[in-house]
Amino acid sequence: MPPSRKRGCTMGKCCEARRCTCTIVAGPGITIDGSGSTTDPTVISSEAGQPTELGVTDSATVDLTLTGGGGTPYNLTAAVILDPAPPGGGDQLLQSGPDGLYLECEQVRGCISAGDGAAYDPATGVVEARPSTDAGNALSIGTDGGLLVPPGGAAEPLGVGCGLQGEGTADAPLAAFPIAGEQPWADDWDCDAAANSTLKCDPGTGALWTPPEHTSASVTIQQNHPLGTPTLGPTGGFVIVDNSAWAEGRYAADSLSTCRGLSFSTQFTGHLEATWTAGSVFDIAYVVQINGGALAARLMHSRLQAGGVAGHERWTFATAQAVVLPPHTGYSVRVYPAINVVSGSVTLAQWITDTHLFAITT
């Protein structure tokens, strides 16, 4: 027996039947008209909406271009916008190539410069730290490539010179080394320290200084003048007994100090043994010559009244010369034994001169 066949009903047959199970529902965009009868067939249709025109809007960085339409496919293209004059006043480095936007390292290197503490090589683009080359700088590059200041602030232990103490650390700062320790100025002086202290600093070298040391010198020389035993009658004034018999006090420039001036004094003490005849009147003197200049007699001893008896005596007398000399200045004082016989005659048995020199820096 052949398999049974089930006839399907047509739209008309189904809908004309009393019991019709065919239900047609319109979906989105679909319209259905008619009852599905022979005289009123069912019509299923759809309608396209009103077409919308495609438009484009450029931005500050993109330039859009739209072509097509009217049956021709649309084609939308975009081009990047590069500012030819950047607001900062520099050059535009960003470029547009066939494969897109690009910016190369070579273009950027010329825009970089090194400030304080940095070094920059525009050929390689390498930026690195630049420690100062000034003497005493302890900053260096460590083994890991970082900046390094060794403990204590110096690559080597701090060398402490004469007159200083300490290690240059917070616990032991570098300081002057006064042998007697610290002491306020006012403990010894009641004047202004800034105006009267002699410790100063040379701004050209940074070195501390005080005035040169004071020095002094003294000497005593005794000379027995080789006069022989001359006998002199009336001389008509003072005469030098012997031009070769003299004593001198001399200071050679810079021999005691090359910086300071000095006070220089000379004292000549004479010891004279003389014999004279009855009725003699006479004066004893030293003729003084300073720095090779004029001669001047300085009276030392006199016998003023003629006596009826001859005499024989020894006398001691002295004369002095003092001066304050500026630096680099020499000085000379020379004395000659001299006598003025008014009456009678005088024999000089012996003339000794003690020369006392004393010099002290000012």
Residue 277 has pLDDT above 90, yes or no: yes
The confidence score (pLDDT) of residue 100 equals: 81
CB proximity list for 42: less than 8 A, separation 6 or greater = 11, 24, 32, 33, 34, 35, 36
- pLDDT of 244: 94
Task: Check residue 354 and give its pLDDT.
Answer: 98
Residue 187 lies in a domain: no
Token reading at 233: 């009658």
Percentage of the chain surpassing pLDDT 70?
A: 90
Q: 339 burial class (0-12, 13-18, 19+ CB within 10 angstroms)?
A: buried
Average pLDDT for the chain: 86
pLDDT score for 68: 80
Residue-range definition of the domain harbouring residue 274 = 216-361
pTM of the model: 0.56
Q: Which band of pLDDT confidence, cut at 50, 70 and 90, is reported for residue 157?
A: low
Residue 22, in any domain of the structure: no
Asked whether residue 246 is domain-assigned, the answer is: yes
Give CA separation, 34 vs 21, 24, 235, 283, 293, in Å: 17, 11, 184, 180, 161
Q: Averaged over 22-30, what is the pLDDT?
A: 75
* Cβ contact 331:246 at 8 Å: no
Flag whether pLDDT at 318 surpasses 90. yes
Number of domains in the chain: 1
- If you average pLDDT over residues 55-84, what whole number do you get? 83
209 or 58: which leads in pLDDT: 209
pLDDT of residue 19: 56
| Residue 29: inside a domain | no
Q: Is residue 354 part of a domain?
A: yes
- Would 352 be classed as within a structural domain? yes
With a cut of 80, say whether residue 21 has pLDDT above it.
no
Residue 11 has pLDDT above 60, yes or no: no
Task: Give CA–CA dist 341/346, Å, rounded.
Answer: 7
Asked whether 321 and 333 are in contact (CB, 8 A), the reply is yes
Region 78-87: mean pLDDT is 84
What CATH number did the domain enclosing 320 receive? 2.60.120
- pLDDT, tens digit (0-9, with 9 covering 90-100), for 236-257: 999 999 999 999 999 999 999 9
| Residue 252: inside a domain | yes
Residue 12 has pLDDT above 60, yes or no: no
Residues paired with residue 281 on neighbouring β-strands, in sequence order: 343
Q: When comparing pLDDT for 282 and 109, which is higher?
A: 282
Residue 22 is predicted with a pLDDT of 66
Both structure tokens of 351: 């003339």
User: What per-residue confidence (pLDDT) applies to 8?
Assistant: 46
